[in-house]
Structure 1
Amino acid sequence: MCTEITDLAQDHFTSGLTKLNTPINAYYNHYINLSLPNDKVFATYVWIDGSGINLRSKDRILEGAPCDLAMVPKWSFDGSSTGQAETSDSDTLLIPCAIYRDPFRKSPHVIILCETFHGDGSPTATNHRANCANVINKIADQDPWFGIEQEYTMFDTDMWPLGWPKCRGFPVTESKFSYCGNGEHVAGREIVECHARACIYSGMDYEGSNAEVMKGSWEYQVGTTLGIKAADDLWVGRYILNRIAEHFSTIISYHPKPMGKDQPGIGCHHNFSVKKMRAEGGIMEIERVSKTLCDLHLKHMKSYGLGDGDENRKRLTGKFETASFDTCKWAVADRGASVRIQRGVKLKGRGFLEDRRPAGDCDPYRVCALLAETCLN
């Protein structure tokens, strides 16, 4: 007999979508394949809501496929229904900031990533892109590059990880077999395959994926990309992943420690460099920035996860290839370091650094801004 367990270490479960109860059938396929006039293009406006992790979207019909942002109208939404405004002043602005091909409806239809602003022109509390763009612009002459690795966990609709035994059972094999694994050691590969192709089709700088240490968890990578695009791509990748999960009646979680202290966590590592790091002798600048990141550790940890980042404390325990939440160290080839320099980078004397502290539910705009600030003169 199965006993229901309520303590799943998911008291702040950060993402999930309603199960698609109706199968996609012949009637749906009939309508979805109807030919549309050339002057009718679906534009799906996507934005981050007041939770700081969930994404909202709504559609607008444009008269043609937009070639640049100037062709995309600004729009608005009810911010009181998304946790971003008061009912008495609920009109919240959507300002387009990036265009992607729509992998669901296919070209010429588009996805429009947007920033959110209050009526007075000030950014909403979860619009961290505005500040990130400002900081990155200040070091634009240094050609900042970012590459981001997004880990996540797939859950069935019973809120138990995909591929785990039902009745709240745990995998019978050690978790180390799931990392880059195959066969019985992984679950959800079909979703990963769909996601990879959809991301590349959209125009993201999608670079790859792999199964992660905990069964049912995976990772996708974006970049290395100049400027803010890696963070934009990561958010659009999250949106596309959630949309694909709808078709598979699966829930995506970015929570940093969804299954408790005895299971691996979920991170979002950020790789960063500027011209000086990539040039001959750049290792000196890499080491300087690594030291600066550790000097600012306590400040940064408040921005390295959802909200004030405190849930990340459950993940950064010094176990499962993590450093401690309360301390910071940088090192070469040490996956237990807070900031890691790859051995190949050290040998070449130039390259990039990897900040391993951000949680899976972090906002990449916040992290990229803090990394960029270390290079301000």
Structure 2
Amino acid sequence: MFDIEIILQRGILDKKILNRYRRLQIPENKIQVTYLWIDGISNIRIKDKIIDCIPQQALDNRFGEVDDLPVWQYDGGSTYQASADNSDVVLIPKVIYKDPFKAGNNDIIALCETFHSDGSPTATNKRKECTETFCKYENEKMLFGFEQEYTVLGFGGRPFGWPIDGFPKPQGPYYCGVGGDKVFLRDLMESHIMACLYAGIDLHGTNAEVMPSQLEYQTGPTFGIKAADDLWVSRYILQRITEDFGLTVTFDPKPIPGDWNGAGCHTNFSSKSMRNDGGINVINEIISKLSKKHKEHLIAYDPHGGLDNKRRLLGTHETSSIDTFTFGISDRRASVRIPLSVSKCGKGYIEDRRPSSNCDPYSVTNAIITTIFGCH
């Protein structure tokens, strides 16, 4: 039997065993909380805690600040966030979501911020500063939406459905395609949609992308920091679902070198003044501000300070050149695109196409807000 067959059969067996125990009656006063956080290299980590009370936010089906979940800790020495001689890192829950993977009706996911033992935020706790920025400019009523592209990998680390040797047919028929020879893993994509909606994530849509086995979903538009929270939790849900399929997902901005599209996290945003009549004038002013901070934004737009985008932003495959800031109406080769509908209406939003698929949305939103309101 091939290794692939063994892996697939083992996955099916594991699910059958798990489903047997999911039918057991769990005491009503016990709920499972999945504590979710960002580690020192911008990966997602989780661990579960059993608690005896149901947070009021879960009962009310709200997803705001969490006051009644316990603070916890973990070994930061094993997550690239602390040394072994002072390894405890503190988890402080900040927002909750319904858990689509647990059996209990009140089981939840708690998105957490991370702090060192002295109370200082860890290097990858970008949420704390981002929250402060949103609060500072709360009156601007910022809306954000993300277009998250990702690539599903099969056995051997190649994109799922690709030939073991060689490559599939050139790009062209795959984007928003239909048919088994054009779109792979539609079931995975739709499973992800349903799980995110159940969790309470503001999901906008989804589609197959230009490169085969590259997919996309869109979050928002959402007010405030919830847009970034939603993106992190949606990534976690996607990774868990690919576990069920026996596959993996990569957010690498250029998983396949050569004549194939990379993966981005195009960021759509607008302020109150951009959405008002005459907003196009505000949009032009904002684009001018963004052009003056191009290098700073590139550092904020991928977790490796621009190195990942250097492989992706080549001026080809619907990307701008990393070296030059550009903008245009309906131009997907520009750094910043003004949608055609916005140009016609004279107000609305703009799309920053520079963020990489593995960006930290807290860093992205913080950089945008700081530049457009703090740069004069």
Tell me the residue number matched to 2:62: none
1:285 Cα deviation from its structure 2 partner: 0.9
1:29 Cα deviation from its structure 2 partner: 1.6
The TM-score, its normalising length taken from structure 1, stands at 0.92
| Amino acid in the other structure paired with 2:115 | F
Number of matched pairs:
357
1:346 Cα deviation from its structure 2 partner: 1.1
| Amino acid in the other structure paired with 1:56 | R
1:27 Cα deviation from its structure 2 partner: 3.0
Alignment counterpart, residue 235 of structure 1, candidates 232, 237, 252: 232
Tell me the residue number matched to 1:346: 343
Q: Determine if the alignment matches structure 1 residue 35 to structure 2 residue 35.
A: no
Q: After the TM superposition, which residues 169-248 of structure 1 pair with which residues of structure 2 at under 5 Å, given as runs?
A: 169-172=166-169, 174-183=170-179, 184-248=181-245
1:176 Cα deviation from its structure 2 partner: 1.8
1:188 Cα deviation from its structure 2 partner: 1.4
Q: Distance in 2 between matches of 1:244 and 1:146?
A: 25
1:20 Cα deviation from its structure 2 partner: 9.7
Tell me the residue number matched to 2:54: 65
What are the Cα deviations for residues 280-335 of structure 1, in whole angstroms up to 9, with x where unaligned? 10111111111211110011101111221211111101111110011111111111
Tell me the residue number matched to 1:257: 254
Q: Are the structure 2 counterparts of residues 206 and 307 from structure 1 closer, same or farther at C-alpha, using a change threshold of 3 Å?
A: same
Q: After the TM superposition, which residues 39-188 of structure 1 pair with which residues of structure 2 at under 5 Å, given as runs?
A: 39-52=29-42, 54-68=43-57, 69-106=66-103, 107-167=105-165, 169-172=166-169, 174-183=170-179, 184-188=181-185
Q: Distance in 1 between matches of 2:331 and 2:107?
A: 45
1:376 Cα deviation from its structure 2 partner: 2.3
Q: Distance in 1 between matches of 2:335 and 2:290?
A: 9
Q: Distance in 2 between matches of 1:300 and 1:330?
A: 15
What are the Cα deviations for residues 220-271 of structure 1, in whole angstroms up to 9, with x where unaligned? 1110000000100000000000000001111100001000032110000011
What is the DSSP-based 3-state SS (H/G/I as helix, E as strand, rest coil) of the residue aligned with 2:24?
Answer: coil
1:195 Cα deviation from its structure 2 partner: 0.4
Q: Distance in 2 between matches of 1:97 and 1:295?
A: 34
Alignment counterpart, residue 335 of structure 1, candidates 332, 340, 349: 332
Higher helix share: 2
What is the DSSP-based 3-state SS (H/G/I as helix, E as strand, rest coil) of the residue aligned with 1:285?
Answer: helix
What is the DSSP-based 3-state SS (H/G/I as helix, E as strand, rest coil) of the residue aligned with 1:147?
Answer: strand
| Amino acid in the other structure paired with 1:144 | M
| Amino acid in the other structure paired with 1:67 | Q
1:375 Cα deviation from its structure 2 partner: 3.3
Q: Distance in 1 between matches of 2:93 and 2:372?
A: 28
Tell me if the contact between 2:35 and 2:111 (Cα under 8 Å) persists in the aligned partners. yes
Tell me if the contact between 1:20 and 1:246 (Cα under 8 Å) persists in the aligned partners. no
Q: After the TM superposition, which residues 296-307 of structure 1 pair with which residues of structure 2 at under 5 Å, given as runs?
A: 296-307=293-304
What are the Cα deviations for residues 123-154 of structure 1, in whole angstroms up to 9, with x where unaligned? 11111111111111111011011001100000
The TM-score, its normalising length taken from structure 2, stands at 0.92
1:65 Cα deviation from its structure 2 partner: 2.5
Tell me the residue number matched to 1:14: none
Tell me if the contact between 1:156 and 1:250 (Cα under 8 Å) persists in the aligned partners. yes
Q: Distance in 1 between matches of 2:29 and 2:327?
A: 55
Q: Percent identity?
A: 45
Name structure 1 gaps, 5 residues minimum: 1-17
Alignment counterpart, residue 24 of structure 1, candidates 1, 7, 14: 14
Tell me if the contact between 2:253 and 2:356 (Cα under 8 Å) persists in the aligned partners. yes
Relative contact order: is structure 1 or structure 2 higher (C-alpha 8 Å, sep ≥ 6)? Answer: 1
Give the alignment's Cα RMSD to 1 decimal. Answer: 1.4
Q: Distance in 2 between matches of 1:246 and 1:72?
A: 28
What are the Cα deviations for residues 150-197 of structure 1, in whole angstroms up to 9, with x where unaligned? 000000131010111123x2112x212111112111111111011000
Name structure 2 gaps, 5 residues minimum: 1-6, 58-65
1:25 Cα deviation from its structure 2 partner: 4.6
Q: Determine if the alignment matches structure 1 residue 322 to structure 2 residue 314.
A: no
Tell me if the contact between 2:329 and 2:339 (Cα under 8 Å) persists in the aligned partners. yes
Tell me if the contact between 1:145 and 1:227 (Cα under 8 Å) persists in the aligned partners. yes
